[in-house]
Homo-oligomer: A and B are copies of this chain.
C-alpha cells in the first residue's frame, strides 16, 4: 500500500480544510462511525489522515469511496470481498493516473491507457454478469404480466359481448 496520503494535517485548526471528521462522514453517507472504522480495518478504506490528537480526517475522495461501497453493497448486493476487488481496480486506475507523465511519448501513454481499459473491462464484466441474469428474470416477469393482461382483455371482450358463443 503506497498510500501517498493527503496533505498532512497542519497543526492548529486543520479540521475545516475540506476535511471531515468521522461523525460528519458517517452522517453524510448514512453509515455508523463504527462501520467506517470497520471498513478501514478490513482494507476497504485506506487509513485516512489524522489530526494531532489522532482524530480521523476524511477527504472528499475518501467520502466518495464510502459512498461507492454503500452503492455496491446496498443496491447491487455485492459482498465486501467483491467490493474490495472493485475498489482495488479503481485504485489501479488511480495509480495509473498518478504515474502519468505528460512528457511521455505517445506509445507509453497508449500502453498506460490500455492497462486502464483492461481493468475497467474486468469491472464491467463482473457487472454485466449480474446484469444479464437480472434482465432475463425481468423479461420472464414481463412476459407473465403480458399474458395475464391479454387474458384480461379476452375476458373483458367476453363481458361486453354479454352473450357467449358456447
Contacts and interface: CB of A to CB of B under 8 A. Distances in A.
A158 B128 contact: no
A155 B117 CA distance: 15
Number of chain copies forming the complex: 2
Interface string A155-166: 110110000000
A120 interface: yes
B158 A145 contact: no
Interface in A139-166: 141-142, 144-145, 148-149, 151-152, 155-156, 158-159
A29 interface: no
Nearest to A125: B141
B131 A135 contact: yes
Interface of A: 71, 75-79, 106-107, 109-110, 113-114, 116-117, 120-121, 123-124, 127-131, 133-135, 137-138, 141-142, 144-145, 148-149, 151-152, 155-156, 158-159
29 contacts: A71-B133, A71-B137, A75-B129, A75-B134, A76-B77, A76-B130, A76-B137, A77-B79, A106-B155, A106-B156, A106-B158, A106-B159, A107-B159, A109-B155, A110-B159, A113-B155, A114-B152, A116-B148, A117-B148, A117-B152, A120-B141, A120-B144, A121-B145, A123-B141, A124-B142, A127-B137, A127-B141, A130-B134, A131-B131
